[in-house]
Structure formats: C-alpha cells, structure tokens
Amino acid sequence: MARILVLFLALLLLHGVPGVSTGLAQDLVDSSAQVVDEIELRDGSILRGRIVSETDSIIVFETLTGITVEVAVTDVVRRRQVSGRMSDEKFVTFDPNATRLLFGPTAKALSAGSGYLAAHELFFLSGAVGLGGKLTLMGGASIIPGAPEQLVFIAPKFTVHERENRAFAVGFMVGTITGVSGYGGILYGVGTFGPPDQSLSVGTGFLFGGGEVHDSPIIMLGGQKQLSSRVKLLTENYAMPTETGGALLSFAVRFIGGRLTTDLGGVTESSLLDEGGFPVLPWLAFTLHFD
C-alpha cells in the first residue's frame, strides 16, 4: 500500500510531463524554454526581453512583445538573466530552486556562484552554493532553543551529467549531534527527468553509520510542477521496499517571489493514513536565492 500511494502521488502531480514516458531512451530538447534579460526599475516595474544596446546613461530594451523602450541607467535597480517559457502569451519564469524538492535534492546543479539560504520548520537552517557548475555544496544545522545538542550536517552533490531535460547526480549527506560521538548519513544517486517547470526525480540511497553501510536501499520518488511564475506544486516521498513499514510522504505548494520562496505543505507516514486517520505535520520553509 505504501509504495502504491507514493507512486500515485507522483503520477498525479506529474501527469503529462514531456519526456518522462518516452524520453528515457533519447536525448530531450525543450525548444520552448528560453533565457531572457530582466531589468527591475525603481518604480517596481519589471521588463523582460533583450538589451539591444547600452550607453553610460541609456539602455535600449526590446520587450518580449516587440516594443522598444529607452530606460535611464539610473532607474535600474537590478538586472539579470532569467529562464522560462511563453504560456498563454505570458512569460513564465522558472523557479530558481530547481536543485531541490522540499528538502531532498534533484539531480540538477546550482550554477557557479549561485546558491540559497533556507529555514525549514523555523529551527533547521541550511545553505548551498554552486561550484564550477557541477558541484553543489550544501550544509546546515538545527537551532532548537534550549536544546543541549544540535544537529550539524554537510551534503555535497556532484552532477555527473546534465542536459536541459535530463540530469544525473551522486552525493552524500553526513551529520552528527554536537556533544555526541559518532556520525551517520546516506550515500545516494538521483536522476531528474523533464523540463525545468515539470519534472520527476527518482533516487536511491544507503544509510551508513558506525563504520557500516545498511544493506537495505531507500527509494526516493519526487516531482514538481510549476503552475505559474508564482506557484509551484511539489512532492517528495521515501520508502524502504525490503523493509516492513510505511513510507514517508510529503506535499507542498511553493510560492515564488523572485529571490524569496515560501513552501507550505505537510509531511506524514503512510501507515498512519492506512489506519484511517490523517495526522499531518505542517511543513513550512523559507528560501532566499542568490546569484
């Protein structure tokens, strides 16, 4: 029952993901995705398109609708390049946090020099930075008030292959409790399939600790579907097929506000659902992305 429910959640979220059903045997190219220039003005307005020319005082800018405008350099408070796609005559920008689901990793790498700072459930902090376009270095710690010990962990991930609609990565997470000897963690591999705004991630890993590696694999099945420039659906689920017991299930809505994103959702365990209840631990996370 647990594994069926995990699969159902992912398929429900990702129904119709291009390339997942037929593209595993071929290279995928998403021709509708594009990178555009974005400039933010002092009055809060945002222009997307391309910079045609620029002087010390004036930027000549062509919008996505083909309108050419002149903007004073002094009126520009921020400029960057963003990726997205046209949908219903609107440009939908992709979520900049495509390298992770609720917490666990996708196979995609942070671009060199970009990264994020995150607070999960308020008391668990993490951060990550991209190095060289392949290595994503992540780490974090708990800050539970009054707790005599805190969790500290590091989690590097190396993306061994990445195209626009396909990526594979390997990594590990190792952590310890302050004031307690010993450590533990997980070794894993993960693949992500689909375009930036709707993808499926499948991974497997093995727990280790005390000098031993657990021989029962953990399977991760997760996905994301972006509905607009501001809203995205996420699910992240874990099971141990060779062990008895249920699966850890989670679902969230991500609200994208430029650099800042907010995740609201819930986490539960499948055996609790099988018993007829619906005990869900609320999930809240804030992420500040930088590039």
pLDDT mean over 175-189: 93
Q: According to the model, what pLDDT value does residue 5 have?
A: 46
The CATH architecture that domain 2-30+94-290 belongs to is Beta Barrel (2.40)
Mean pLDDT check: name the lowest of 41-50, 102-111, 211-220, 239-248: 239-248
pLDDT mean over 59-74: 92
Does the pLDDT value for residue 84 go beyond 90? no
Does the pLDDT value for residue 260 go beyond 70? yes
The proportion of the chain whose per-residue pLDDT surpasses 90, expressed as a percent, equals 59
Does the pLDDT value for residue 60 go beyond 60? yes
Q: According to the model, what pLDDT value does residue 163 have?
A: 87
pTM, two decimal places: 0.80
Write down the domain spans for the chain: 2-30+94-290, 33-93
Q: According to the 3-state scheme, what is the secondary structure of the chain?
A: CHHHHHHHHHHHHCCCCCCCCCHHHCCCCCCCEEEEEEEEECCCCEEEEEEEEECCCEEEEEECCCCEEEEEHHHEEEEEEEEEEEECCEEEECCCCCCECCCCECCCCCCCCCEEEEEECCCEEEEEEEECCCEEEEEEEECCCCCCCCEEEEEEEEEEEEECCEEEEEEEEEEEECCCCCCEEEEEEEEEECCCCEEEEEEEEEEEECCEECCCCEEEEEEEEECCCCEEEEEEEEECCCCCCCCEEEEEEEEEECCEEEEEEEEEEHHHHHCCCCCCEEEEEEEEEEC
The yes/no answer on whether domain 33-93 falls in CATH 2.20.25.240 is no
Name the pLDDT band for 218 (thresholds 50, 70, 90).
very high
pLDDT mean over 197-217: 92
pLDDT mean over 239-262: 86
